[in-house]
Chain A
């Protein structure tokens, strides 16, 4: 277990975290389920690589370009799918995610299905950590704002929020675009970590993995998403000795979580300084505070 190996896992967790944060806004706070976010990661990854390799831009502006590209794609997808409900939206996003991948498979400009090698390896731990922190701060501020409360209102009761004057479609669109932009940044960082992009990396399974991570951490909790991404990315590495059995355990664990603790690890609670203080004072004085945490 040398530092190089651990650093690799941390970078990968950080990249997954970025995508999971975006999906957390869409799924955990707005109540929309997407099985196509790997497609947005793919768009982000390819657009970022175009920025650095074809246009000769520096890494960070290219990342922003990738985020914008993914958000733009999600705008068009949202325009036609956000009016669909429940399962239809899930299946529509699934279709779009797969379609994006299959289109990339056939675009020879990006190397098609064989992939695109030779991308400069610029993603390092510092960059990932800084971008993640920025991502968390933006998301936390958004959630605690007036807009954040509107997102949660839509999650809880769509019809009622529409009745009190929340523009449901616009808020859903905002959530989708922001989450796509986060996924795009994650895709861009992934491409510039591996130095290689291939449509196969962004299969349906990847989207499922992201959604499972959000649920594992707990719907409606940013700290849950952070912990979920860290745990679920490093767990397969820790279980490396079990090799092929780890995914069996993983599948069983997902079912087990759904059955036994569907609210996820954090269950809508957040780790904030205020909550930690409350928890500590409970231990110190031995009395029960009125509420255990910031239930959302």
Chain B
């Protein structure tokens, strides 16, 4: 039983970080209607910023954390300006956006490999200490708890911004219908920048947390494939769906590697994706797929 609880908690903590990535990805999808494959590159850069802020510049964790989040927020906005907004102005079909995102992703990954940073694996310094919390025979890693807490707080702040502020209303309106909200006087150009910035912030946070959980390496961005699955699972473009999908995916993955074999972990994730697409393509919470042509 304690083993079961332990797996469940591990799954929750991994799932909450997946949620950070999936929400950032879903947010962009809900407005721009394309899969931002560059998201993984942004996460990877965030992971590196956090790492070097803590090791090379000796910043405390909180400062390094904020630097990483701000850095990736700016990076995401920059990517939007360079790679997407020329396409947006031309009303290019969604596939050009996807290819452009792929190009950015290849560029970011390889510029890290080619730069003096190189392809080596790096380990974050320990921040939260080693000894686990013990609650009734269940050992919970400090890092897992912190991952869960930080992700949850970030998501709550995001929900507050989207639901309670004027900008958030603009985001919701643009997600509903971009053209109509532009006609209603929403500055959609600004909204899109803000959405990319928010997605970038979340990506930076996720990057630092993943870097601490695993290691930092140039291909760490590939982990976003999981968040795509989670986003489809929950329903593309739906934020609550992205969160639920991510948490479920995290739990399913940890149970697979805990009770079956860690070899099947990724396979299960993709099989789940295919199953969802066959049975319920709009996901758990998604809008209808009809207008997503």
Using a CB–CB cutoff of 8 Å, the interface residues on chain A facing chain B are 33, 80-81, 83-88, 90-92, 94-96, 98-99, 102-103, 105-106, 158, 204, 208, 211-212, 215, 244-245, 247-248, 250-255, 258-259, 262
Least Cβ–Cβ distance between B156 and chain A, in angstroms: 28
16 A-B pairs besides A92-B273, A247-B106 with CB distance below 8 A are A80-B274, A80-B277, A81-B277, A85-B293, A87-B292, A90-B35, A91-B273, A98-B270, A102-B270, A103-B267, A204-B225, A247-B110, A254-B100, A255-B107, A258-B83, A262-B96
- In whole angstroms, what is the CA distance A251 to B112 when docked? 13
Q: Is the CB of A106 within 8 A of B263?
A: yes
Q: Is the CB of B86 within 8 A of A251?
A: no
Task: Report chain B residues within 8 Å CB of A94.
Answer: 225, 228
- In whole angstroms, what is the CA distance A105 to B274 when docked? 18
Task: Report chain B residues within 8 Å CB of A87.
Answer: 29, 33-35, 94, 98, 236, 292
| B33, B110, B292: the one within 8 Å of A251 (CB) | B110
Least Cβ–Cβ distance between B193 and chain A, in angstroms: 18
Q: Is the CB of B232 within 8 A of A88?
A: yes
B266 at the interface (CB under 8 A from A): yes
Task: Report chain A residues within 8 Å CB of B159.
Answer: none
B103 at the interface (CB under 8 A from A): yes
The 5 closest A-B CB pairs, nearest first, are A251-B107, A254-B103, A251-B106, A247-B110, A255-B103
A-B CB contact pairs (8 Å), 11 listed: A87-B34, A95-B277, A99-B267, A99-B271, A211-B102, A244-B110, A248-B110, A250-B106, A252-B107, A254-B100, A258-B100
Name the residue in A80, A212, A245, A255 with the highest tally of chain B Cβ atoms < 10 Å from its Cβ: A255
Which residue of A has the minimal Cβ distance to B263?
A: A106
Task: Report chain A residues within 8 Å CB of B263.
Answer: 105-106
| A33, A83, A91: the one within 8 Å of B95 (CB) | A33
| B99, B229, B232: the one within 8 Å of A215 (CB) | B99
**Interface size class, chain B:** 35 or more
In the complex, the number of residue pairs spanning A and B with C-beta atoms less than 8 Å apart equals 133
User: For window 64-104 of chain B, which residues contact chain A by CB distance below 8 Å?
Assistant: 82-83, 86-87, 90, 92, 94-96, 98-100, 102-104
Q: Is the CB of B82 within 8 A of A88?
A: no
B63 at the interface (CB under 8 A from A): no
| B86, B225, B292: the one within 8 Å of A86 (CB) | B292
Least Cβ–Cβ distance between A202 and chain B, in angstroms: 14
- In whole angstroms, what is the CA distance A43 to B99 when docked? 25
Task: Report chain A residues within 8 Å CB of B225.
Answer: 94, 98, 204
| A88, A103, A105: the one within 8 Å of B236 (CB) | A88
Given contacts A248-B111, A252-B103, A258-B99, contact A88 B267 (CB under 8 A): no
